[in-house]
Structures are given as C-alpha cells and as structure tokens.
Amino acid sequence: MKVRELTTQFEQFAPQRLAMAGDPVGLQLGSLDAEVSKVLVTLDVRPEVVDEAIAVGADLIFAHHPAMFRPVKNMDLSVPQNAMYAKIIENHITVYAAHTNLDNADGGMNDWLAEALQLVNPVGLVPEKTEAEYLLTVHVSPVYADAVRLAMVGSGAGNIDRYKGTSYEWNGTSWFTPLSGADPELGPVGERTQTDEVAIQARVSDSHVDATVQAVNDVFPGGHPSLQLIPLRDAAKTFYMGRVGDLATPMTARDFAEYCKAIFGVAGLRLVAADPLKMIHRVAVLGGDGGRFYPDAIAAGADAYVTGDVYYHTGHDMLASGLTVVDPGHHIEQICKPKLTELFEDWQLDHKWPIEIVASKLNTDPFTFV
C-alpha cells in the first residue's frame, strides 16, 4: 500500500483547502508514493517521537503539528531539528501533517474537544472557509442502487449539519430508443423500450465532488452512469474554527477550571476570571493558540472560553471584557492520537488496507507544572 492511498482518503475528511493561509500541511518529508505498512499517529514530531517510530517499525508518521513550520536554511546536523530530519530520511520514514485543516474539518479536532467537554448542541465559532454546495443525482437500475448509494455517502456526499450520509431516492421509469452501439441488454436497436430506475440524490460540497463522482463510476456497472450535478443557489458549506455550546449542568468558573483539568488530564492550567464564582452556562473552545479569537467567543454568548497559549496582554483584555478563560495549554490537542487512530482503523477495515495503526505513547508537552 502507498502512503498516497491513506492521505487521499484523509483529505476527503479534512481537505488541505480548509487549512489557514500559510499553514504547511500535507507531505512534510518523504514521498506519497512510498510503501506503508505501519503508521504512527502523533501530536508532535520530535526527536523522541522519531525514535519511537523507528522502534515500532513505522514507515509513516502522521502528525497534527507539522514537523517543518519554517524553511530549513542549512542542514547543519549539530542543530537538533536538522539531525531529526536526517534521521527521518535515513530510516525511510514519510511524515505527513494535518494541522488547521484538521482543526476546521467537521468531526475534527474542535469537535473532539467539544465532545470531551460534553457541550450540548455545539456549533461553529469562527467562520474560516466556505465551499459551494451541489445537488448530485444518479439514475441507476434498482439492483445496483445500494452500491451506488453507499459509494456516494461513503465518499463524503450527504453530510448536512448534524446528519451524515443523508440521501433521497425515488423509483421511476425511463423510456428510450437504443441506437447503434448501445448496450444490447437494454433492448433492441431502434425499438422504443423502457426500464425501471432508481434516482438517488444527495448534497455534496465542492471538496467532495471529484471523489464522489469517482466512487460512483467505480461501482456503476459498465461505468458511465447518468449523473446530474446542479449548483445550489445561495447554499454553501461553511467550516469553522472552534465550537461553542452549552454545559449540561452550569458550574462556577472555579469548578469549571477543575472540570477542565480532569477532562484533559493536565496537572495545572491558567484561569482568567474576575469572579471565580461566576456561573458558566455556555462555553467556547478552540484548540491550540486561540487567544486572538476571544471576541468571537463573546459574540457567540460564551461565558467561558477554553483555548491555549494565552498571552499576558491578551489576558488583561479578556479580564476587562468579563470573559472567563481557561488555558489548559496547547497539548490538550493530544486528543487527536486516539481519535485519528480510531478513524484510520475504521478505514482500514472498510478498504482492507494491509497496514497497522498505532498511537504514540509519548507525552510531548514541553511544560511541567512544579
């Protein structure tokens, strides 16, 4: 199996186009055409993680944080980062990163964080990318309807708000006159005939159109299905950074901070709160460095905002605004390790991939509370 097969499937889930401008997502080191038999899923690519990959026999490191945020000016191997790159290349390991495209994807990083916090009815926080929406209709013989329907929704069609894989279909009759070279099974040339058909219809976003059409072509008998792709006027799919939702049970700011410590398994965190006894009903969360988006949390009606890497002066501004902020650090994004592993294992079963997926066991948080 090639690395490209896994990354192509992943980019149907979190297309690179969802990444913020300048974010170095995708292939970091190696080749998409390299063979892969074992994948190591990690938050960070650090020297100890590379050693772990070598120890477990992984030939692909799939990371959330890119290994190469900045261009390499030289390959002086006395620099630890350069030495790490050299070791990756020496051991024929491919490195792939999914950063802000995974943050912004539906069902991605920020949905995982909102789920961990058990937020009720979470919605997007900061609009980041908008894609056109289309209505795809496929006409097919009833005997092949299940295969086509599953191909459509399996490639990303039919995802509407909180519903996945939605489709609509109806039965009908097609009338036609076969001409020379037509499929003989559909009737004699020159004779008016009819056949029962099922029309299957689903919405599909721009980023999933090519994959969905290809999936239908792959399962359609003889290829060349009858497809109709109609752009939906005034309809677009918006992808968001962060999520905002309600707590099932309101709690004080102090109790909410303790709740976050327990949920994310951190030894300590920073709390910005003018009143530790303020009741928290509505919570916004944005993984990583999200301090600059605190006005969006206020605009969304959040009483508390969970994000990492809050700067000193930004903290003062948050305090003055009356917003409670919990900074449990950047490393809470380690939630990606079990979640991506589970996602890849599901695809492995679906596609019968001959690979093994393992989650990194290392803690790459550079900070220790003392």
CA pair distance 287, 266, nearest whole angstrom: 15
- Is 188 or 259 the better-scoring residue by pLDDT? 259
- For the chain, the domain total comes to 3
Q: Does 189 map to a domain?
A: yes
The answer to whether 294 touches 317, Cβ cutoff 8 Å, is: yes
pLDDT exceeds cutoff 80 at 162: no
Are 143 and 231 members of one domain?
yes
Burial of 70 (0-12, 13-18, 19+ CB in 10 A): exposed
pLDDT value of residue 223: 60
Residue 316 is labelled as binding a ligand: no
Domain boundary among 218, 238, 258: 238
Q: Does 348 map to a domain?
A: yes
Are 281 and 154 members of one domain?
no
pLDDT tens figures, 179-220 = 988 877 778 899 999 889 999 999 998 888 998 999 999 998
Q: Does 41 map to a domain?
A: yes
Are 111 and 254 members of one domain?
yes
- Is 24 or 161 the better-scoring residue by pLDDT? 24
For 227, 270, 307, the CA distances from 324, given in Å and listed in that order, are 52, 11, 11
Give the pLDDT mean for 58-69. 96
Are 257 and 117 members of one domain?
yes
- Is 226 or 33 the better-scoring residue by pLDDT? 33
What CATH number is given to the structural domain containing 176?
3.30.70.120
Are 185 and 89 members of one domain?
no
Domain boundary among 238, 267, 292: 238
What CATH number is given to the structural domain containing 323?
3.40.1390.30
pLDDT exceeds cutoff 90 at 311: yes
Residue 303 is labelled as binding a ligand: no
Q: Does 135 map to a domain?
A: yes
Are 162 and 306 members of one domain?
no
pLDDT exceeds cutoff 80 at 161: no
pLDDT exceeds cutoff 70 at 222: no
Residue 345 is labelled as binding a ligand: no
pLDDT exceeds cutoff 90 at 131: no
Residue 331 is labelled as binding a ligand: no
pLDDT value of residue 270: 97
Are 162 and 288 members of one domain?
no
Contacts 24+ apart (CB under 8 A), 266-271: 266/328, 266/329, 266/331, 266/332, 266/369, 267/368, 267/369, 268/369, 269/326, 269/327, 269/328, 269/329, 270/310, 270/315, 270/326, 270/327, 271/324, 271/325, 271/326, 271/327
pLDDT value of residue 225: 76
Are 219 and 275 members of one domain?
no
Q: Does 91 map to a domain?
A: yes
Are 10 and 91 members of one domain?
yes
Are 229 and 287 members of one domain?
no
pLDDT tens figures, 351-370 = 999 999 999 999 999 999 98
pLDDT value of residue 191: 92
Give the pLDDT mean for 240-268. 97
pLDDT value of residue 160: 81
Residue 346 is labelled as binding a ligand: no
Q: Does 304 map to a domain?
A: yes
Q: Does 364 map to a domain?
A: no
pLDDT value of residue 224: 65
Percent residues over pLDDT 70 in the chain = 99
Query: Taking the model in full, what pTM does it have?
Result: 0.83
pLDDT value of residue 356: 98
Pick from 33-47, 84-98, 224-238, 300-314: least confident: 224-238
Give the pLDDT mean for 95-108. 96
Are 167 and 192 members of one domain?
yes
Are 118 and 247 members of one domain?
yes
The residue segments making up the domain with residue 156 are 130-238
Domain boundary among 238, 267, 301: 238
Q: What is the mean pLDDT of the chain?
A: 94
Q: Does 369 map to a domain?
A: no
| 3-state class (DSSP) for residue 173 | strand
The answer to whether 337 touches 43, Cβ cutoff 8 Å, is: yes
pLDDT exceeds cutoff 80 at 150: yes
pLDDT value of residue 206: 87
